Amino acid sequence: MKKSSQPSLLNNSEQKAALPCDHIPIRPGNFVADRIFLAKGSMTTPERVRFVERICALYPEAQLVECPDTPHNRIDLREQDNLARHQKGKHTLVFGEHKSAVRFSAEEGNACPNYWHFSPYGFCFYGCKYCYLAGTPSYWHSPAVRIFLNLEEILERIERVANQANMPTAFYLGKLQDGLALDPLTGFSGVQVPFFAQHKFARQVILTKTGQVEQLLKLDHNQHTILSWSLNPPELSERFEENVPTIAERLEAMKQCAEHGYPVRAIIMPLIPVKGWEKIYGGFVERLLESVPIQRLTLGGICIYQNAKALMEMKLGKGNNISQSLDPRSKIGDGRIRYAQPLRLEMYGHIVRTARKLRPDLELALCLEETKAWKELGIEDRMGHCNCLL
Ligand code: SF4
């Protein structure tokens, strides 16, 4: 690969990627912090101390725990019961630093290409009952919401990777967190969006369920920030997602961002095969496409590992619609449990046909699927252009 001679944006005094200390933090609508941990790296510079203190001041009721020798992923919530620990984590905020926050994914056994992703945050405070992330080792043992303060270092790494790639390269924020849920608190978008806007090669793709986008509407993004919303029909969101912005709030946020010129995408995942799903999803896709000029729609079924499934069943019972439709024989090479392939193809096919009628130009993609599914839907020429990538 060729090395770029592009000057560093981070050395440019007008484009400093330090913490947004002039941002006035706002409590995100759905987040209540009972305990705040000041973990390793959170208080090591005067700038970090000021930044953390301003956020802590918004939660005077929270218990403050200083643990400067404990890394962010070793916070012990002192709760043995798996469900109770998970619920406690949703009300626990950890400040720390993440030294390997920019990573290349290591997907195997499905049609997804690997991609760069980054983590100024870890986990999230929303309560989706099907959450796959809750079952991953780090958030299973220490399921707290995390804010990483080494943002400058994270963007420096992105800059190095993008310059080395010497071509437009996506960096995805949403694999190990919600990408914007904590933004009203941190104001990180005020640093990230200008950084990517001015970069020749680096682009960010953010996945979120937020309804709070005021901060984004003030920023010049140069279309180098792509915003993607995770959606499901309202009647299913109400049943399977707790403590999240409503679908109407998300659609409104998408609309505002699209009007402000951001490229906007949607991902409907997991599709949930409840009785009458054809009508429910068909109607919802029509509503989505009529209300927001999205560029790309990505679809996916449930793709879940054992721990996340166990947690989901503690919340919903074993008879829930997702569990009842899982087919253990449908594991493809990546080991995740899915719905049976005929059901997945039927659901994708129905939505693709509905979408195509309204928007023949709409880019369509699948998430964590097999090559065969792309082919059956006639969209194999789009493989590699899904939600996490350009
Ligand atoms: S938004 Fe994503 S990470 Fe957060 S609870 Fe829902 S599925 Fe999990």
Atom of ligand 1 at shortest range from CA of 134: 8
CB-based contacts of 95, cutoff 8 Å, min separation 6: 36, 37, 38, 39, 42, 48, 52, 55, 72, 146, 147, 149
User: Which CA distances in Å does 164 have to 9, 10, 168, 202, 236?
Assistant: 15, 16, 11, 11, 43
CA of 125 to the centre of ligand 1 (A): 8
To test ligand 1's pocket by mutation, which of 128, 175, 309, 312 has the most ligand atoms within 8 angstroms of CB? 128
> Are 111 and 365 a contacting pair, CB within 8 Å?
no
**Which amino acid is present at 66?**
E
Per-residue burial over 68-83, b = 16 or more CB atoms within 10 Å of its CB, e = otherwise = eebbbbebebeeeebe
Residue 208's DSSP bridge partners are: 229
CA-nearest residue, atom 7 of ligand 1: 131
Distance 127 CA to ligand 1 centre (A): 7
User: What distance in angstroms lies between residue 124's CA and the mean position of ligand 1's atoms?
Assistant: 6
* DSSP H or E stretch at residue 266: strand 264-268
133 in ligand 1 pocket by Cβ < 6 Å? yes
* Distance in Å, CA 123 to ligand 1 centroid: 7
Measured in Å, how far apart are the chain's first and last C-alpha atoms? 19
Does the beta carbon of 131 sit less than 6 angstroms from any atom of ligand 1?
yes
Atom of ligand 1 nearest to the CA of 230: 1
Domains and CATH numbers, the chain: 103-120+153-382 (3.80.30.30)
Hey, which bits of 198-245 come out as E strands? 202-208, 225-231, 241-242
Residue nearest to atom 6 of ligand 1 (CA): 128
The series of mean pLDDT values per 10 residues for the chain, 390 residues long, is 46 60 94 98 97 97 98 97 98 98 91 95 98 95 98 98 98 98 98 98 98 98 98 98 98 98 98 98 98 98 94 97 91 86 97 97 96 95 93
pLDDT at residue 40, as a whole number? 98
Q: What pTM was estimated for this model as a whole?
A: 0.95
Q: Which atom of ligand 1 is nearest to the CA of 130?
A: 7
Name the helix (H) or strand (E) containing 365: strand 363-366
Q: How much distance in Å is there from the Cα of 241 to the middle of ligand 1?
A: 9
Which pLDDT does position 8 carry in this prediction? 55
What is d(CA 103, CA 171) in angstroms, rounded to the nearest whole number?
Answer: 9
Q: Distance between CA atoms of 37 and 31, rounded to whole angstroms? A: 15
Q: Which ligand 1 atom minimizes the distance to the CA of 209?
A: 1
Question: How far, in Å, from the CA of 179 to the mean position of ligand 1?
Answer: 10
Nearest-atom number in ligand 1 for the CA of 177 is: 3
Q: Rounded to 5 degrees, what angle do the CA atoms 98, 182, 247 make?
A: 135
Task: Tell whether ligand 1 has an atom less than 6 A from the beta carbon of residue 128.
Answer: yes
Would you call 123 helix, strand, or coil by DSSP? strand
**Closest Cα to residue 217, out of 191, 253, 245, 248?**
253
User: Among 207, 151, 142, 219, which Cα is nearest to 181's?
Assistant: 207
Alpha carbon separation from 273 to 38, 94, 244, 281, 300 (Å, rounded) = 42, 36, 21, 10, 12
With a 6 Å cutoff on the Cβ, whether 159 touches ligand 1 is no
- DSSP H helical segments within the chain, as ranges? 46-56, 82-89, 137-141, 151-165, 183-186, 189-198, 234-240, 247-259, 277-291, 306-316, 321-325, 341-358, 371-376
Q: How far is the CA of 77 from the centre of ligand 1 (A)?
A: 20
Closest-lying ligand 1 atom to the alpha carbon of residue 241: 6
Give 337 Cα–ligand 1 centroid separation in angstroms.
Answer: 18
116 C-alpha to ligand 1 centroid (Å): 20
- Which residues are registered as beta bridge partners of 352? none
